[in-house]
Amino acid sequence: MTSFERTFPDGFLWGAATASFQIEGATTEDGRLPSIWDTFCEVEGNVANKDTGDPACDHYHRVDEDVALMSDLGLDVYRFSIAWPRVLPTGTGTVNQPGIDFYDRLVDRLLDHGIRPVATLYHWDLPQALDDRGGWLNRDVAAWFEEYTAVSVGALGDRVKHWTTLNEPWCSSILSYSIGNHAPGHHDTLEGMIAAHHLMLAHGTAVPVIRELCPDGEASITLNPTYVWGPENGDEHDADAVRRADNALNGLFFGPIFHGAYPDGMIEDTAHLTDHAFIQDGDLETISAPLDNLGVNNYFPTRVRAARDGEDGSNPMPGCDGVIELAPQGPLTAMGWEQSPKSHQLIIERSARESGLPIYITENGSAWEDTVSDDGAVHDPERVNYLHEHLGAVADAIEGGTDVRGYFAWSLLDNFEWAYGYDKRFGIIHVDYDTQKRTIKDSGLEYAQIIANEHARTRGDR
Ligand code: PNW
């Protein structure tokens, strides 16, 4: 029995999430060609232990088993991403039917088990062939993404009704092109801003394609807004640092997508880098295409202050020179991320205000060093605690009047955690990477219990 006592609205959807490159493996099978992450993994120093996307969770060959596990957990919904390099291996042109067949099978298995599929088109695995043509820095990427969207929605839109264009464009722009921790690993502040613009342009170009090919479906995007804490001391420099960081983390996407404009000050704050010619007439109209819901991924807040006189305030995020990022406080997860259910609630509320849309928590969770006991059970009390606290924050937001429609645990399975390789485990299901054996962790059992209780309560049989 669970000690968790919060309740959620009728029809609240319970889910778990994954992403193609993080779980599928089989990176060279059935016509898939490399993505920018396959390339990035090859370079010493980019990924812990020089880990790669193989074999990951070998999900490509274990769809039936993995969907059965989702069913055991009682999930209503499953969020996965489609690998662009499986469907269109060179990015555009020839469609790879075996790639489509794989997602066809996955979707059919989900529906067999009464689990609704929620598909993300882009969770960071850009075909390498497109990066060779400039990737997200080439404006043509919007047309390439439009083509890929048409192929995917055309193939699956009869059964998949919830479409998300992009996962966390902040990561695939700023973290990938400005900060350099993610593929393609560039270190150029302006490039991050250009990539962000082209990602949003691709998103806005794809939305009408989703509307046309899946008229009874929903179109959304998943952002990773981050609550920015400042010193709250009345210092105007600190307040300005908060504003700049908030623009680079949140306003950069909230502005164009929901308000049809870059956030206050961001164009001025980056004027020393560019004349912004990459923002062309009509772009903001395309980018602000109406959506049906907003996906929010949130794990931790950020703390900043202004650089003091003489202190080095260089910061790779656009418009953020003079912004010092502070060490996280309080209890940290194995990622070194601050646990802050309050900031989770606040950023959910902010996301709803900015977008005016119903919110889905499309990812939330935590990495820990799990204990596998002699009987094979996997104990992760910290993850159980994180789950309780963050579901509590979601319940608080809902009680305060915010329309949150569902929660997806990150992640269904332990998987390839990007630059951290297989070292960091986020799963509610443990994966033994030697045997590929799956074991539902205590947190997964707890989540299943919470879901069962809520289903019983809202369906009136309790
Ligand atoms: C998200 N950061 O990534 C992704 O959507 C998942 O694929 C990933 O596994 C999960 O969160 C856990 O990390 C992020 O450095 C990666 O700020 C890095 C950051 C944020 C999100």
Please name the residue whose Cα sits nearest to atom 8 of ligand 1: 417
Composition of the chain by helix, strand, coil, percent to 5: 40, 15, 40
Ligand 1 center from residue 434 Cα (angstroms):
25
Quote the pLDDT of residue 1.
67
What are the tokens at 118?
């929620």
> Is position 64 within any domain?
yes
Q: What is the pLDDT along the chain (462 residues), one digit of tens a residue?
A: 688 999 999 999 999 999 999 999 999 999 999 999 999 999 999 999 999 999 999 999 999 999 999 999 999 999 999 999 999 999 999 999 999 999 999 999 999 999 999 999 999 999 999 999 999 999 999 999 999 999 999 999 999 999 999 999 999 999 999 999 999 999 999 999 999 999 999 999 999 999 999 999 999 999 999 999 999 899 999 999 999 999 999 999 999 999 999 999 999 999 999 999 999 999 999 999 999 999 999 999 999 999 999 999 999 999 999 999 999 998 999 999 999 999 999 999 999 999 999 999 999 999 999 999 999 999 999 999 999 999 999 999 999 999 999 999 999 999 999 999 999 999 999 999 999 999 999 999 999 999 999 999 998 754
pLDDT tens string 408-455 = 999 999 999 999 999 999 999 999 999 999 999 999 999 999 999 999
> Is position 3 within any domain?
no
Quote the pLDDT of residue 2.
82
Q: Report which secondary-structure segment, H or E, holds 453.
A: helix 442-458
Quote the pLDDT of residue 3.
86
Q: Which of 343, 410, 425, 431 to mutate to test the pocket of ligand 1 (most atoms within 8 A of CB)?
A: 410
Quote the pLDDT of residue 450.
98
> Is position 6 within any domain?
no
Q: Which of 22, 177, 363 to mutate to test the pocket of ligand 1 (most atoms within 8 A of CB)?
A: 363
- What is the domain extent for residue 116? 13-459
Closest listed residue to residue 276, CA positions, set 186, 207, 165, 196 = 196
Integer Cα distance of 47 and 393 in angstroms: 33
Contact 338 CB / ligand 1 (< 6 Å): no
Integer Cα distance of 78 and 68 in angstroms: 12
Whether the CA torsion 68, 73, 78, 82 is positive or negative: it is negative
Please name the residue whose Cα sits nearest to atom 13 of ligand 1: 417
Integer Cα distance of 410 and 405 in angstroms: 17
The answer to whether the beta carbons of residues 429 and 438 sit under 8 Å apart is yes
Quote the pLDDT of residue 31.
98
Three-state SS at 248: helix
Query: Complex ipTM, two decimals?
Result: 0.91
Contact 429 CB / ligand 1 (< 6 Å): no
CATH number of the domain to which 433 belongs: 3.20.20.80
CA 168 to ligand 1: nearest atom: 5
Number of domains in the chain: 1
Quote the pLDDT of residue 142.
99
> Is position 131 within any domain?
yes
Closest listed residue to residue 56, CA positions, set 298, 425, 414, 355 = 414
> Is position 226 within any domain?
yes
> Is position 434 within any domain?
yes
What are the residue numbers of the active site? 168, 363
Integer Cα distance of 167 and 124 in angstroms: 8
Closest listed residue to residue 73, CA positions, set 460, 458, 454 = 454
The answer to whether the beta carbons of residues 376 and 254 sit under 8 Å apart is no
**b/e map 285-298, b = 16+ CB within 10 Å:** ebbbbebebbbbbb
List phi, psi (to 5°) of 205.
-75, -30
Ligand 1 center from residue 295 Cα (angstroms):
14
Q: Which of 125, 299, 386 to mutate to test the pocket of ligand 1 (most atoms within 8 A of CB)?
A: 299
Contact 363 CB / ligand 1 (< 6 Å): yes
Ligand 1 center from residue 1 Cα (angstroms):
31
> Is position 5 within any domain?
no
| pTM for this model (two decimals) | 0.98
> Is position 321 within any domain?
yes
